[in-house]
Amino acid sequence: DQKYTPRNVEQKWQQQWEKDSTFKVTEDDTKQKYYLLEMFPYPSGKIHMGHVRNYSIGDVIGRFKRMRGLNVLHPMGWDAFGMPAENAAIQNKSHPAKWTYENIDYMRGQLKKLGLSYDWGRELATCDVEYYRWEQKIFLEMFSKGLAYKKTSFVNWCPNCETVLANEQVEDGACWRCDNEVKQKELDQWFFRITDYAEELLECTNALAGWPERVLVMQRNWIGKSFGCEIDFPLEGRSGAVKVFTTRQDTVFGATFMSLAPEHPFAAELTTPDRKLEVDSFIDKVKKTDRIRRTAEDFEKEGVFTGSYCINPLTRQRMPIYLANFVLMDYGTGAVMAVPTHDQRDFEFAVKYSLPLQVVIQPHGVSLNAESMTAAFTEPGILVNSGQFDGMSSDGAKEAIADFLEQQSMGKKTVNFRLRDWGISRQRYWGNPIPVIYCDVCGVVPVPEEDLPVQLPMDVAFTGEGGSPLAKLDSFINVPCPHCGIPARRETDTMDTFVQSSWYFLRYCCPDFKEGPLDSSRVNYWMSVDQYIGGIEHAVLHLLYARFFTKVLRDLGYVTCDEPFTNLLTQGMVIKDGAKMSKSKGNVVDPNALIERYGADTARLFSLFAAPPEKDLDWSDQGVDGSFRFLNRVWRLIQDKVEMTKGCGAVDTTALTAEERTLRRAVHKTIRKVTEDIEERFHFNTAISAVMELLNTLQNADLSSPQRGPVMKEALESMVLLLSPFVPHITEELWQILGHSIPLSSSSWPLYDGEAIIDEEVLVVVQVNGKLRSKLTVASGTDEETLKSRALADEKILPYLEGVQVRKVICVPGKLVNIVVG
Ligand code: ANZ
Ligand code: ZN
What's residue 1's pLDDT?
Answer: 64
Q: Is the domain 621-746 a CATH 1.10.730.10 member? A: yes
What's residue 430's pLDDT?
Answer: 95
Q: Is the pLDDT of residue 773 over 80?
A: yes
CB 342 within 8 A of CB 381: no
Quick one: which atom of ligand 1 is closest to the CA of 331? 17
Nearest ligand, CA 439: 2
Stretch 483-506: mean pLDDT = 97
CA atoms within 13 Å, Cβ hemisphere of 736: 12
Cα(561)–Cα(509) distance, integer angstroms: 14
Average pLDDT, the chain: 94
* HEC sequence for 207-222: HCCECCHHHHHHHHHH
Output the CA 147–ligand 2 centroid distance in Å.
23
Show the DSSP H helices in 701-746 as ranges: 708-723, 728-737
What's residue 87's pLDDT?
Answer: 86
Phi/psi of residue 666, each to 5°?
A: -60, -40
What's residue 466's pLDDT?
Answer: 62
What's residue 293's pLDDT?
Answer: 74
Nearest ligand, CA 443: 2
Q: Where are the domains of the chain?
A: 6-126+501-585, 136-193+421-497, 225-417, 621-746, 761-821
Is position 583 annotated in a ligand binding site? yes
Q: What region does 51 belong to: left with phi over 0, alpha with psi -120 to 50, or beta?
A: alpha
| More confidently predicted of 69 and 754 | 69
* Beta carbons within 10 angstroms of residue 794's beta carbon: 18
CA atoms within 13 Å, Cβ hemisphere of 68: 16
CB 88 within 8 A of CB 96: yes
Output the CA 247–ligand 1 centroid distance in Å.
6
What's residue 469's pLDDT?
Answer: 87
Output the CA 437–ligand 2 centroid distance in Å.
9
What's residue 634's pLDDT?
Answer: 98
The set of protein residues with a Cβ atom below 6 angstroms from ligand 1 is 226, 245-248, 251, 261, 326-328, 331-332, 334, 336-337, 339, 342-343, 416
Cα(17)–Cα(21) distance, integer angstroms: 6
Which protein residues have a CB closer than 5 Å to ligand 2 (ion)? Answer: 439, 441-442, 481, 483-484
Tell me which amino acid residue 754 is: G
* Sign of the dihedral defined by the CA atoms of residues 268, 273, 276, 279, in that order: negative
Cis before residue 528, ω within 30 degrees of 0? Answer: yes
254-272 tens-digit pLDDT: 999 999 999 999 999 999 9
CB 358 within 8 A of CB 256: yes
Stretch 94-100: mean pLDDT = 93
Query: In angstroms, what CA-CA distances link 109 with 56, 100, 496, 696?
Result: 16, 14, 28, 36
**Closest by CA position to 791, among listed 821, 766, 761, 762:** 766
Output the CA 456–ligand 2 centroid distance in Å.
23
Residue nearest to ligand 1 atom 29, measured at CA: 246
What's residue 137's pLDDT?
Answer: 98
What's residue 144's pLDDT?
Answer: 97
Of the options 3.40.50.261, 2.40.50.100, 3.10.20.590, 1.20.1730.10, the CATH number for the domain spanning 761-821: 3.10.20.590
Cα(363)–Cα(379) distance, integer angstroms: 8
Cα(474)–Cα(461) distance, integer angstroms: 12
DSSP single-letter state for residue 125: B
Quick one: which atom of ligand 1 is closest to the CA of 337? 1
What's residue 224's pLDDT?
Answer: 96
448-474 tens-digit pLDDT: 999 999 999 998 888 776 678 898 899
575-586 tens-digit pLDDT: 988 888 877 788
Phi/psi of residue 762, each to 5°?
A: -125, 160
182-234 tens-digit pLDDT: 888 888 999 999 999 999 999 999 999 999 999 999 999 999 999 999 999 99
What is the maximum span of the chain, computed from C-alpha positions, in angstroms?
Answer: 116
* Beta carbons within 10 angstroms of residue 598's beta carbon: 19
Cα(597)–Cα(302) distance, integer angstroms: 61
CB 46 within 8 A of CB 638: no
Q: Is the pLDDT of residue 475 over 90?
A: yes
624-642 tens-digit pLDDT: 999 999 999 999 999 999 9
Q: Is the domain 6-126+501-585 a CATH 3.40.50.620 member? A: yes
112-137 residues labelled b (16+ CB within 10 A) or e (exposed): bbbbbbbbbebbbbbbeeebbbbbbb
146-171 tens-digit pLDDT: 999 999 887 888 888 777 777 767 88
Q: What region does 495 belong to: left with phi over 0, alpha with psi -120 to 50, or beta?
A: beta
What's residue 83's pLDDT?
Answer: 86
Q: Is the ipTM of this complex over 0.85?
A: yes
CB 225 within 8 A of CB 183: no
* 784-791 contact pairs (CB < 8 A, 24+): 784/811, 784/813, 787/811, 787/813, 787/817, 788/817, 791/764, 791/766, 791/817, 791/819
What is the pLDDT confidence band of residue 316, given thresholds at 50, 70 and 90? very high
What's residue 651's pLDDT?
Answer: 93
Phi/psi of residue 164, each to 5°?
A: -80, 145
Residue nearest to ligand 1 atom 8, measured at CA: 226
Q: Is the domain 225-417 a CATH 3.40.50.410 member? A: no
Residue nearest to ligand 1 atom 10, measured at CA: 226
Stretch 583-607: mean pLDDT = 91
Output the CA 469–ligand 2 centroid distance in Å.
25
Output the CA 421–ligand 2 centroid distance in Å.
28
CA 57 to chain centre: 15
Probe ligand 1: pick from 245, 293, 348, max atoms within 8 Å of CB? Answer: 245
331-372 tens-digit pLDDT: 999 999 999 999 999 999 999 999 999 999 999 888 999 999
Output the CA 213–ligand 2 centroid distance in Å.
51
Probe ligand 1: pick from 220, 229, 233, 246, max atoms within 8 Å of CB? Answer: 246
Stretch 651-676: mean pLDDT = 94
What's residue 468's pLDDT?
Answer: 81
Top mean pLDDT of 656-660, 711-715, 761-765, 818-822 is at 711-715
Burial class (CB in 10 A: 0-12, 13-18, 19+), 628: buried
**Angle at Cα 85 formed by Cα 83 and Cα 86, nearest 5°?**
65
**Number of alpha helices (DSSP H) and beta strands (DSSP E) in the chain:** 26, 33
Number of residues that this document lists for the chain: 822
Q: Is the pLDDT of residue 36 over 90?
A: yes
Q: Is the pLDDT of residue 588 over 80?
A: yes
